[in-house]
Amino acid sequence: MPLQAAAAAASGIEYSLKRTQCRVEVSIILGSIIICKTSEGLQNIAREPPRRLLQYYKYPSVKIIGNMYQSVSETSHPLQTEEQEVGIDPLQSYLNKTEEGGSNENGSTQHTSDSAGTFISYSKEWEELFVNNNYLATIRLKGINGQLRSSRFRSVCWKLFLEVLPQDRSQWIKNTSELRTSYNKIKEIHITNPRKAGQQDLIINNPLSQDEGSLWNKFFQDKELRAMIEQDVTRTFPEMQYFQQENVRKILTDVLFCYARENEQLLYKQGMHELLAPIVFILHCDHQAFSHASEAAQPSEEMKVLLNPEYLEHDAYAMFTRLMKTAEHWFSTFEHDSQKEKDAMITPMPFARPQDLGPSIAIVTKVNQIQDQLLKKHDIELYMHLNRLEIAPQIYGLRWVRLLFGREFPLQDLLVVWDALFADSITLNLVDYIFVAMLLYIRDALISSNYQTCLGLLMHYPPIGDVHSLILRALFLRDPKKNPRPVTHQFQQNLDYYKARGADLMNKTRASAKAAPLNINKVSNSLLNFGRKLIAPAMASGSTAGPTAGAGSFPPTTGPTRGTAEAPQYHQHQAQQQRMMKSESMPVQLGKGDAPAGDAALPGPAQNPTALPGQSSKISSSPSIESLPGGREFTGSPPLSASKKDSFFSTISRSRSQSKTMSRKESEEELEAQISFLQGQLNDLEAMCKYCAKMMNTHLGNIQEVILQEHLEKEDEILVSLAGLKQIKDILKGSLRFNQSQLEAEENEQITIADDHYCSNSQNKGTGDILKGPVMTKQQLISGRQTATDSSTRESKGADDCILVSKEEGSRSAVPEPAQLLQTFKESAVKPEAPSRPLVFSDPLMGSISASSSNLSSSPDDNSSNNSKDSDFAIVSPLDI
Amino acid sequence: MRSTAGRTGSGFGGGARGVRRYHVGQIESCHWPRGGENEACYFLATVVRVELVLVLGDLHIPHRCSGLPAKFKSLLVPGKIQHILCTGNLCTKETYDYLRTLAGDIHVVKGDSESLNYPEQKVVTVGQFRIGLIHGHQVIPWGDVASLALLRRQLDVDILISGHTHRFEAFEHENKFYINPGSATGAYTALETNVIPSFVLMDIQSSTVVTYVYQLIEDDVKVERIEFKKY
């Protein structure tokens, strides 16, 4: 399994590296991948003009995504072609393609490129791909294996797949020029100049004529059609700068227009633009690469003709028409056997499903067939589930098939899918199986969710980690005998994992994925900012505690000892974490390459239950770590809410450990790998935060309920503290803004909390009643701050916590120095604790609680009762001040 | 020589009368930005730009006519015409609203029996052409060429559009173009015995105006085409 994971990750990184060299804009798609690119770039820096150098230095920061878009806009500028092509060095900067030969060798590619520094020229890649007897079979294999990802001749490959180019290479030039001239003709035919009509027959040829034969009439019809096409074209890949350019839009419109005019029956249908856009994009990319390569070296005549940028539109048209030959019936809305349909409408079958009743449009038939036959065959459970929910396949499948999954994957992944689709066969029959594979990928989530969630999942397909696994699975589904069981069995395992425990969690992450934009490159700014802040302090304070935290130095036995009540929750955590690590740790392991430390350190947190890194984070952020006996940390389980917060903070510790290793190893390459890893982690963390926030919410609700029922005398303080926790929850959820100063303040608090908590712990009983510790101090902190800064806040404790939070916010910002605040708080917190200490020691009840808590049985109710007890002695503090 | 004289005339005449000037060029809905064609010069020019200006007036709805002839109405569909120049006497807001459905850019001047308030005269620029618009009852004698020429010089326009006579006219005079679209409804007027419903459509190209005249003669739409070139 790890081997496969490594291989998959390797291909990812290798891809990104090469991609970078070719063109910047290509790599914008996957945020994390982009960051990897720099390693190659850094090698080039020596040769780069200073401006490019600057660009490179931008990359290691997390700001990258912002810059990426900038660079895209730069790239797209027609006059800047030379500047934009970061890292294109036609002679040197290309990786050794031979490494790519076997699909399993992917992993080694990157290392070779880095260490040996073997480069191969542009033309060599050409030769690799096209100069041998059986080249077509080779590139087909490459296409299916996702190895065209970084190719600079993808467009040529696609042309071959789509049979735009004949297999006979000697015919290429002739064929291409023929197609181009034919397009010119087509285009000429379809330009209507109404003024050419002149004076002949004014009754027909006048601007207001509605005669069929009128040029004017045709002109206005064309205009209407164009307007319709343009409407869609302007919305094509709105996230990509390239498609915002006027001339690109013009190309898209013209091609679609010509196609529509050539196929009057079909005309233009919405969605066609989504098929055309990737074609135009890869043509453009290849042309860019070519123009760069041709600057230095003399390209062959073939290349010159095939990759002539002037004929982008012509080639796009040729490829598009070929593609549409297969896809057109998916767009047609003609009813087959309308007579038969009419009969069916009159006497509908009893118990017929709605999707069977409507007119049988080709596409609907197709998706129905996929669901009714293929899905039924491969996953009857999912099939039944979808049927039970009455989710007709055309609801989601129409778009999937029509756009060839264009809206379900980010563009880079989409191109890989298309590589496989086209390479497989021009009939695109792999579509059905990818369809099913996609359903299977989210099957557990689907099965465990209701109608609404299902629809959400299907309509906003969750981001997929490794598209290639999807393709492999599709191949396997189609022909289990010929194709090996996909490498995805690691993924399968993942699914089982979800099946067992994480279905609910899965929903959560999916939901969060839904809330957030689908593509990684569309990661919201807030997350980026958040990430930057999260990393920044970690970088700054790469503490010595870092490595210990990350290396998983804690006894792993603590996991199993956990109480049953809490176990599922932890497992969910664990599941999530593991999943996170599974997907995210791959690039890092790879990035680390041969470094043995990488292997040792990284899987550590993955295998330990989440709570452990959580605890460790506390340690690493706490100055009192050394004074703390390690074992005590794990005897008790922190209250749920605290653990969630911990897991949130664990990320800091992890990133800290990362930064530590980073500082040790000076190699830049690792640095980028680290960043990419962190980036990926951030993405997952966001999901985790959301989950934590939700759980926190429910448990806080429970606590609050209980407290309100109990009518404790110091209820106010508890409620105020709860409000504080709710604020944290909101920060986790992201609904509350989280900025740098807050983070610092928060961190400081965290330190203090830990401080007090550990001190009190060691002083208190030595058994480490962690359960109480954090909560108690937290309450003290918040209530202390409350009273110190804004006593009026407390009056509103019963009120909506939102108001409370906002007030607290205000009061916090009103305080000039957080240190001051902390000072006051500390005084307040420590003072009242002194009398409480003997109380705890002497109290047998408390002792038993601590004992029981070490056994880790803590339901939310336990928590709340504990909390209230804690607060009983803690609450004195604010009043004392 | 004449044109210079006209220009000086407009210097005081136009200013004193406070003629409103409109530049249509900015409002027009252009298909492709002009810059795009230069950038991608190796692409074929695909789109022909057409600007159609509908000229009509003296509808007198509902006082003298119930509405536009059905044949005209079927010809006039939205989406084709960019600008409408109306010589006035729409009489009601309903008619104005109808014209608004045909094109977004509409310019109306005040007629002699107008219920709404419009400016007395307007100067509109379409493409390279300055077009003067007036109802025509102010020009005495009505429809007189010399008087119209005087006004044209004052406004310093290439094309002068006037109405009021309910008789279609389009002629070139001193290298300038004069258009009277007649009455679109064929409304009654004291001066004409047999009013033919008519309107005019101008296809404005770079330096040429092709004028299509639509007349309803015995329930048939007749179209004429007149070309005017600017020197």
Confidence of residue A838 (pLDDT cuts 50, 70, 90): very low
pLDDT digits (tens, 9 = 90+) for B186-206: 989 888 888 999 999 999 888
Does the distance separating the beta carbons of B77 and A246 come in below 8 Å? no
- Does residue A776 fall inside a structural domain? no
CB contact under 8 A, A226 and B77: no
Res. B209: pLDDT tops 80: yes
Tell me how close the Cα of A191 comes to any Cα of chain B, in angstroms: 6
| pLDDT for residue A350 | 58
User: In which band, very low, low, confident or very high, does the pLDDT at A458 lie, cut at 50, 70 and 90?
Assistant: confident
> Running DSSP on this structure, what letter comes out for residue A23?
-
A135: in domain: yes
Contact A646, A608 (CB under 8 A): no
Listed residues A279, A311, A330: the one ending a domain: A330
A chain contacts of residue B46, beta-carbon cutoff 8 Å: 187, 191, 250, 254, 257
Answer whether A116's CB lies under 8 Å from A107's CB: no
- Burial profile A560-589: b = 16 or more Cβ within 10 angstroms, e = fewer: eebbebbbebbbbbbbbbbbbbbbbbbbbb
- My answer on whether A382 and A445 are in the same domain is yes
Amino acid at B37: E
Domain extent, residue A472, equals 361-509
Alpha-carbon distance A152 to A157, whole Å?
Answer: 10
Which residues, numbered 44 to 73 in chain B, qualify as contacts with chain A under a Cβ-Cβ cut-off of 8 Å? 44-48, 50, 52
Q: Quick check: B36 and A246 CB within 8 A?
A: yes
> In terms of Cα–Cα distance, which of A143, A147, A180, A146 is closest to A158?
A143
Assess A250–B contact: CB distance below 8 Å, yes or no: yes
Rounded Cα–Cα distance for residues A29 and A282 (Å): 14
- A429-444 pLDDT per residue, tens: 888 888 888 888 888 8
Give A218 or A813, the one with higher predicted confidence.
A218
Same domain for A311 and A384, yes or no, is no
Domain-ending residue, one of A311, A330, A349: A330
Tally Cβ neighbours within 10 Å of residue A746.
16
Q: Hunting for tokens 């009489």 — which residue is that?
A: B91
Q: Do B40 and A210 touch (CB under 8 A)?
A: no
- When pLDDT is cut at 50, 70 and 90, the band that residue A41 belongs to is very low
* Closest approach of B35 to chain A, Cα-based (Å): 9
pLDDT, position A360: 65
Q: Identify whether A617 is part of a domain.
A: no
Distance CA A532, CA A543 (A): 18
Contact B46 A187 (CB under 8 A): yes
Mean pLDDT of all residues in A551-558: 37
| Residues A134 and A236 both lie in one domain | yes
pLDDT above 90 coverage of chain A, percent:
4
- Domain boundary, last residue among A509, A538, A557: A509
Whether residues A321 and A367 fall in one domain: no
Selected residues 140-179 of chain A with any CB under 8 Å from a CB in chain B = none
Residue B95 has pLDDT above 70, yes or no: yes
Taking the Cβ of residue B43 and every Cβ of chain A, the question of whether any pair is shorter than 8 Å is answered with yes
A322 shares its domain with A376: no
Give the tens place of pLDDT for each residue, A769-784. 444 444 444 444 444 4
Identify all chain B residues contacting A226, using CB atoms and an 8 Å cutoff: 31, 47
Q: How far is B49 from chain A (nearest CA, A)?
A: 9
How many C-beta neighbours within 10 Å does residue A713 have?
Answer: 9
Query: What confidence tens digit (pLDDT) does each residue in A44-91 have?
Result: 433 333 333 333 333 333 333 333 333 333 333 333 333 333 333 333
The answer to whether residue B7 neighbours chain A at the CB level (below 8 Å) is: no
Eight-state DSSP code of residue B44: P
| Residue A218 near chain B (CB below 8 Å) | no
Q: Which residues contact A699 (CB under 8 A, 6 or more apart)?
A: A640, A641, A860, A863
What are B196's two structure tokens? 């033919």
Q: Work out how many domains chain A is built from and give that number.
A: 2
**Residues whose CB is less than 8 angstroms from the CB of residue B108 and which lie 6 or more positions away in sequence, other chains included:** B86, B88, B90, B96, B118
Contact A162, A322 (CB under 8 A): yes
Query: Is B79 within 8 Å of A187 when comparing Cβ atoms?
Result: no
Which single residue is written with the structure tokens 């929903």?
Answer: A507
* Cα first-last separation, chain A: 59
The pair of three-digit structure tokens given for residue B103, joined into one six-digit string: 């094109």
Which chain A residues are Cβ-neighbours of B203 within 8 angstroms?
A: 195, 207
A247, HSE (Cβ side, Cα atoms, 13 Å):
19
Buried b (16+ CB within 10 A) or exposed e, A515-531: ebebbbbebeeebbbbb
Nearest chain A Cα distance for residue B151, angstroms: 30
Q: Are residues A313 and A404 in the same domain?
A: no
Q: Is A499 exposed, middle or buried (0-12, 13-18, 19+ CB in 10 A)?
A: middle
Top residue of B102, B204, B223 to mutate, by most chain A CBs within 10 Å, is B223
Please answer yes or no on whether A246 and B79 come within 8 Å at the CB atom.
no
CA atoms of A459 and A678, how far apart (whole Å)? 29
Of B220 and A99, which is predicted with more confidence? B220
pLDDT at A403 over 70: yes
User: Three-state SS for A348?
Assistant: coil
In angstroms, how far is the first alpha carbon of chain B from the final one? 13
Return the SS3 of B144: coil
Mean pLDDT score of chain A, rounded to an integer? 61
Token pair for A846: 């408390």
Q: What is the pLDDT of residue B184?
A: 92
Task: At A817, give phi and psi (nearest 5°).
Answer: -120, 120
CA distances from B141 to A186, A335, A525, A809 (A): 57, 67, 72, 80
**Quick one: pLDDT band at residue B107, thresholds 50, 70, 90?**
very high
Same domain, A371 and A324: no
Chain B interface test: which of A81, A206, A255 (most B C-beta within 10 Å): A206
Query: In A, which residues are within 8 Å of B212 by CB distance?
Result: 202, 206-208
Whether A181 maps to a domain, the answer reads yes
Asked if residue A647 is part of any domain, the answer here is no
Q: Are residues A480 and A405 in the same domain?
A: yes
Closest residue to B75, CB basis, from A192, A208, A224: A208
Q: What is the pLDDT of residues A486-517, one digit of tens each?
A: 654 333 434 343 333 334 434 444 444 444 33
pLDDT at A291 exceeding the cut of 60? yes
Of the pLDDT bands very low, low, confident and very high (cuts 50, 70, 90), residue A373 is: confident
Amino acid identity of A541?
Answer: S
CA–CA distance, B209 with B176 (Å, rounded to integer): 11
Mean pLDDT for B53-70 is: 90
| A377 and A252 within one domain | no
- Look at residues A220, A202, A229 and name the one whose alpha carbon lies nearest to residue B50: A220
Q: Which two tokens stand for residue A464?
A: 């997929």
Q: Look up tokens 């077509």; give the residue.
A: A136
Distance of CA B228 to the CA centre of its chain: 14
Could you tell me whether strands B20-23 and B121-126 are parallel, antiparallel, or unpaired per DSSP bridges?
parallel
Q: State the Cα–Cα distance between residues A432 and A401, nearest whole angstrom.
A: 8
C-alpha to C-alpha distance for B204 and B211, rounded to whole angstroms:
8
Neighbours of A99 (CB within 10 A): 20
CA dihedral A225, A227, A231, A233 (to 10 degrees): 70
Q: Which CATH number goes with the domain that contains A488?
A: 1.10.472.80
Residues on chain B touching A192 (C-beta within 8 angstroms): 48
Q: What is the mean pLDDT of residues B152-159?
A: 94
Look at residue A692 and give its three-state secondary structure: helix
Does residue A568 fall inside a structural domain? no
* pLDDT at res. A742: 53
Residue A358, classified by CB atoms within 10 Å of its CB into exposed (0-12), middle (13-18) or buried (19+), is middle
Residue length, chain B?
231
Answer yes or no: do A237 and A379 share one domain.
no
Amino acid at A785: R
- Examine residue A48 and state whether it is found in any structural domain, yes or no: no
Question: What is the count of residue pairs from A and B with beta carbons less than 8 Å apart?
Answer: 79
Task: Say which of B40, B52, B224 has its CB closest to residue A250.
Answer: B40
* Contact between A246 and B31 using a beta-carbon 8 Å cutoff: no
Percentages of chain A per state (helix, strand, coil), in multiples of 5: 75, 0, 25
Mean of pLDDT values over A240-248: 88
Q: In Å, how far is A267's CA from the nearest CA of chain B?
A: 18
Instruction: For residues A306 and A395, state if they share a domain.
Output: no
Please check the confidence at residue B88 and state whether its pLDDT lies above 50.
yes
- All residues of chain A having their beta carbon less than 8 Å from the beta carbon of residue B56 are none
Asked if residue A303 and residue A157 are part of one domain, the reply reads yes
Angle at A291 between CA A285 and CA A295, to 5 degrees: 150
Alpha carbon distance A597, A603 (integer Å): 10
* Closest residue by Cα to residue A585 from A469, A680, A689: A680
- Please report the pLDDT score of residue A744 as a whole number: 53
Q: Which is higher by pLDDT, A577 or A372?
A: A372
A729 within some domain:
no
Flag if A220 and B205 touch (Cβ within 8 Å).
Answer: no
Contact B207, B128 (CB under 8 A): yes
The number of helices, as runs of H, and strands, as runs of E, in chain A is 47, 0
Report pLDDT for A332. 79
pLDDT exceeds 90 at position B152: yes
For an interface test with B, give the residue of A184, A203, A250, A310 to mutate (most B CBs within 10 A). A250
Which residue, A661, A564, A652, A553, is CA-closest to A607? A553
Q: Which residues of B touch A203 (CB under 8 A)?
A: 221-223
Q: Is A315 on the interface with B (CB under 8 A)?
A: no
